[in-house]
A and B are shown apart, each in its own frame.
Chain A
């Protein structure tokens, strides 16, 4: 494994009284692409939200280090500043805030202050990758966006913010074949240009078609129950999660 960027040890997470993650272990190296698969309710999105620091996800035990620092001690914005990013499964609508204003503020918060001219030039370049019309920049963030537009807007942010580690939480869900291809191309471009690490949480394999996958992890009942290379994706596609659920 290349230099370790994220190390999760025996992570236990609860929402209210319910324990979701039950001692999960995961290591991600610099520039690696990891795929997380698992049946509904296994804890995949809980993992993403916990890493990003969402309040209602209570870490009851375990340890997470990101770039050598204790991630769990950081606030959500500090995690982002450190280089962590997550695409949301259901991107949030932010009325009144334009896409351009939001992303420019984000870039600035992450230490990449750009002039308006430079910002627009950079934004338009990244939007081309995703076949996005420049008019998106003036729209209110995610407001009235179709499912596909919302997911594209997430990948657009990924390209603009250039994180060290991106968690893609079912970015391909609910998208048609063409939209998945576009989103997948955006992820590929991010990986190629930025060299960041990826955790791809998915049910589908279409988003993986243009990506080199380093490791696949199967989560069931809050734990990693199987790991392997890309062949594991094909095996799950053929046989489902049944044998892992039983195990």
Chain B
């Protein structure tokens, strides 16, 4: 049995005719966990202790509750990279919870993939509490096979002086919906969302990123880089929300999207909400065909136009992957990207 729910809702909504206010996804009830408490040395926890708002939103939270998905709290081994690499073969749903205590650093890597012939839906929700002066580095690699639908949801809270770095790499394969919401509740807390994406062959990517500034002198950046081709569709909603009282805060969102042909649908909805005067919010976007000068330069070295575009596509993934702080996680993700493009 499946249920249709609305996720990635834009707050506040805009004109319905733009079709960017949210997305309806059909998710299967009866989805089982792909990650067990035993394999992660985690423990099941009471959902009421982890009520953190996420980018995908309440309907997904309610769906997971109805599905009977129980959150697993995972205690990592200090700064040592904690990795979850899953090749999905059935409908799955997981809620993973992480907490960085005061001054701690967590390094987390998730890798979601599947065989092309596998038909399934994978839902992964990650909840993060970043305590005072802690650092959480979350790297997510999503590379679904052709039959896998992915919903990747993140909710995080940053206390005073905490820093949350989230890097997501979405490789081609099939449709992906993703949301992330960070509440900067402590003074001088910082959040970075960096995304590298490739969409092609009619694949869709629906994104909803929200940075909520709730304390003084908080900093947030959303940086999305990608390449679209062959009937791909992408919606990027980026919301920077300055709440009254967050004086001295700084929020910025930037998008750099290469449109490799004219068959694609690329929608961008940057939103800066502001009920506080003394803040700085910025939005910048570079969206268009690759520079002719760059393509000419590459061709002058013997590289065909098709190969030049492929190199630029790969670069848009690597631009995000290169920002991964943990060397092991970075090498892993860069290695997967290199593997994908070898011999293409």
Interface residues of A (CB under 8 A from B): 52-55, 75-77, 79-81, 85-86, 88, 91-92, 94-97, 101-103, 105-106, 109-110, 157, 161
Contacts and interface: CB of A to CB of B under 8 A. Distances in A.
A75 B304 CA distance: 9
Contact of A97 (B304, B305, B315): B315
B316 A85 contact: no
Nearest to B290: A94
B82 to A, nearest CB: 27
Contacts of B319: 95-96
Interface in B291-344: 291-294, 296-305, 307, 311-312, 315-316, 318-319
Nearest to B291: A92
B296 A55 contact: yes
A245 B225 CA distance: 50
A96 B312 contact: yes
Contacts of B304: 77, 109
15 contacts: A52-B300, A53-B299, A76-B296, A76-B299, A79-B300, A80-B300, A80-B301, A92-B297, A94-B315, A95-B319, A96-B316, A96-B318, A103-B301, A105-B303, A106-B301
A92 B298 CA distance: 9
Interface string B273-298: 00000000000000000011110111
- Interface residues of B, dominant DSSP: helix
Nearest to B196: A96
Contacts of A110: 301-302
A106 B297 contact: no
Q: Which of A85, A95, A157 has the most CB of B within 10 A?
A: A95
Contacts of B311: 97, 101-102, 105
B299 A80 contact: yes
B297 A109 contact: no
Contacts of B307: 105, 109
A227 B149 CA distance: 69
Contact of B301 (A53, A54, A96, A161): A161
B297 A94 contact: yes
B118 to A, nearest CB: 31
Which interface class (under 10, 10 to 19, 20 to 34, 35 or more) fits B? 20 to 34
A157 B292 CA distance: 20
B294 A77 contact: no
Contacts, number: 72
A106 B293 contact: no
Interface of B: 225, 291-294, 296-305, 307, 311-312, 315-316, 318-319
B315 A106 contact: no
A96 B296 CA distance: 17
Given A96-B318, A97-B315, A77 B303 contact: yes
A47 to B, nearest CB: 15
A53 B297 CA distance: 11
Contacts of B301: 80, 85, 102-103, 105-106, 109-110, 157, 161
B300 A85 contact: yes
B302 to A, nearest CB: 4
A52 B293 CA distance: 13
Contacts of A53: 299-300
A110 B299 CA distance: 11
Contacts of B298: 94, 102
A81 B301 CA distance: 8
Nearest to A110: B302
A167 B312 CA distance: 26
A67 to B, nearest CB: 15
Nearest 9 pairs between A and B by C-beta?
Answer: A96-B315, A80-B302, A109-B302, A106-B301, A92-B297, A76-B299, A77-B299, A96-B319, A110-B302
A92 B299 contact: no
A97 B300 CA distance: 16
Contacts of B312: 94, 96-97
Contacts of B300: 52-53, 76-77, 79-80, 85-86, 88
A102 B299 CA distance: 11
A144 to B, nearest CB: 14
B319 to A, nearest CB: 4
